[in-house]
Amino acid sequence: MQTELIFASLSGIETELLAVLAADSQTAKGPDAKPSPVLLANDEAVKAAAAAVLASGEFKAGANETLLLHAPAGLKAKRLLIVGLGKVAKATAHSARSAAGTAVRFTKPRGIRELVLALPVADTLPGAASARAVAEGAVVGDFDADTYRSDRKDVSVQKFALAAPDSTDRKAVEAAFAEGVIVGESQNFARTLVNEPGNKLTPTVLGQRAAEMAQEVGLQWEVHSTEKLHELKMGAFWSVSQGSEEPPALIVLKYQPEGVKEGPVLGLVGKGITFDTGGISIKPADNMEKMKYDMAGGAAMLGAMRAIALLKPKVRVIGIVCAAENMPDGKAQKPGDVQTAMSGKTIEIINTDAEGRLVLADGLAYAKQLGATHLIDAATLTGACVVALGMVNAGAFSNDDATFAKFDGALKVSGEKFWRLPLGDEYMDMIKSDIGDIKNTGGRYGGAITAAEFLHAFAEETPWIHLDIAGVAWIEDSKPYIAKGPSGIAVRSILEWVRSY
């Protein structure tokens, strides 16, 4: 999708579709209170074109509600689309992000190939923040998961423009809009990877895709396989891959900003299980096809590294993705086996379907060996986290309050939903092994927390954040602003956490 920022009067823009955001200005409460929608635009001709329908009560300006007007009087646009944000007092840049996605997804199936969206004008919507959010929402809204349909038609919005008033701070809005396009495209890069089926995206191919991206944006990169895992004594990582015909891939990306020699080194570690059968502890057949998404944590790290390379924050970053298939084979590890991780800790395998924490254990250790002073990992790790938080919030854990405070601040920019869950020695006691140092699962109760404590044992005292994105990495039903399928969750939040340094 081609993107453009223009500074122009809305009524004079010639386009197939002009979209304007609206909000409910009603402050009264009670059964007799009726919505009072207002356009968040200063153009009097646009207001006049929509006045009658807004007064009719037909449109209430609810979040992502849409209303289309054909041949609007006084405008050069052929159509006027009004998209709701909800209550004006609660409207934020995050509301605008969703509304922009809604506008794009409304446009796509109607054969309309160009869309101009007006930058909203409201006290709660600063111009630069809204411009970035709108760009992100529009780019993300254009993605669909139907890659392999033989009858697929190109219904993308070919051109998206954001129209800002002449009075806007041009430099700030231009920078924010360009940034939003980069972030949206990086999120879609992650979604594209997650969407690939396991026969198309093997660990080797994931390594190739990561290398191609790194070359394109100027990251240093290395992709290793079996020999390197043995050289580094990554027994936990190798144990997951040993049952597959497909070799593993250890993907390492490095971002070194010019002139930065000191300060923190941030380690981004992602689970990259390109297909997860559960191994010998095999999963039920129902919904197993979705286990192609078990590399969503790794994809999030690759998407974040892409955005980091293009936005150039002044901090050193290392990205590591541990990619493997978890398959049941004569060579596969078995429940009861004991594996030795890179750190030297011994792990009793209770359930081979608790494999993500095994690859991450060695990934975290390797990030520290490469010099990481702060760690963040992301993984579709536990069903227990989905039980706890549903498909609304992702889980977050940390061993350091100051490090987590930076992540919490990042969420205010990213708009993504994470909920911090506890850690504690009592949970670590649940995964102590009788035969080795640690078990790879602690049983049914507190499963998301014991999984996090397992990783804590490998992060040790290094400031660390763990993101369990199992419940939100795949969208089960299409929403007005984003398609069913991979969400690209955590790309924006990880990026903002990195930029906070």
Q: In whole angstroms, what is the distance from residue 431 CA to residue 450 CA?
A: 7
pTM for this structure?
0.97
Contacts of 147-153 with C-beta under 8 Å, sequence gap 24+, read 147/195, 147/196, 148/197
What is residue 151's predicted lDDT score, i.e. its pLDDT?
86
| Residue 153 pLDDT class (50, 70, 90 cuts) | confident
Q: What is the mean pLDDT of residues 113-137?
A: 95
The number of angstroms, rounded, from the C-alpha of 250 to the middle of its chain's C-alpha atoms is 21
Q: In whole angstroms, what is the distance from residue 197 CA to residue 376 CA?
A: 26
Strand pairing class (18-24; 114-118): parallel
- pLDDT at position 270 over 90: yes
What is residue 32's predicted lDDT score, i.e. its pLDDT?
72
* Common-topology check for domains 2-166 and 188-499: no
Max Cα–Cα distance, the chain, nearest Å: 79
Q: In this structure, what is the dihedral angle of CA atoms 117, 121, 124, 130, given to the nearest 10 degrees?
A: 30
**487 contact partners, CB below 8 Å, separation of at least 6:** 191, 472, 473, 474, 475
What is residue 280's predicted lDDT score, i.e. its pLDDT?
98
CATH of domain 2-166: 3.40.220.10
Which pLDDT tens digit goes with each residue over 372-391?
999 999 999 999 999 999 99
What is residue 470's predicted lDDT score, i.e. its pLDDT?
98
Which pLDDT tens digit goes with each residue over 397-443?
999 999 999 999 999 999 999 999 999 999 999 999 999 999 999 99
Residue 452 · residue 423 · CB < 8 Å: yes
Average pLDDT score, the chain: 96
- pLDDT at position 500 over 90: yes
More confident residue, 412 or 122: 412
CATH of domain 188-499: 3.40.630.10
| Residue 319 pLDDT class (50, 70, 90 cuts) | very high
Q: Which two tokens stand for residue 301?
A: 């790290």
From the list 329, 322, 334, the residue with the least C-alpha distance to 244 is 329
What is residue 28's predicted lDDT score, i.e. its pLDDT?
74
Where are the chain's structural domains?
A: 2-166, 188-499
Residue 410 · residue 493 · CB < 8 Å: yes
What is residue 225's predicted lDDT score, i.e. its pLDDT?
98
Q: Which one of 357, 368, 406, 439 is the catalytic residue?
A: 357
| Residue 168 pLDDT class (50, 70, 90 cuts) | confident
Which pLDDT tens digit goes with each residue over 69-78?
999 999 999 9
Q: Which one of 76, 159, 228, 283 is the catalytic residue?
A: 283
Q: In whole angstroms, what is the distance from residue 279 CA to residue 444 CA?
A: 19
Q: What is the mean pLDDT of residues 222-235?
A: 98
What is residue 166's predicted lDDT score, i.e. its pLDDT?
82
Q: Which two tokens stand for residue 30?
A: 């009670």
Give the H or E element holding residue 269. strand 265-276
> CA 139, 130, 66 angle in degrees (round to 5)?
65
Percent pLDDT > 90 in the chain is 95
Which pLDDT tens digit goes with each residue over 283-305?
999 999 999 999 999 999 999 99
> CA 219, 221, 226 angle in degrees (round to 5)?
160
Active site residue 357: yes
Structure letter (DSSP) for residue 479: B
- pLDDT at position 247 over 90: yes
**9 contact partners, CB below 8 Å, separation of at least 6:** 43, 166
Percent pLDDT > 70 in the chain is 100
Which pLDDT tens digit goes with each residue over 77-111?
999 999 999 999 999 999 999 999 999 999 999 98
CB atoms within 10 A of CB 42: 13
Active site residue 283: yes
Q: Which residues pair with 18 in a beta bridge?
A: 80, 116
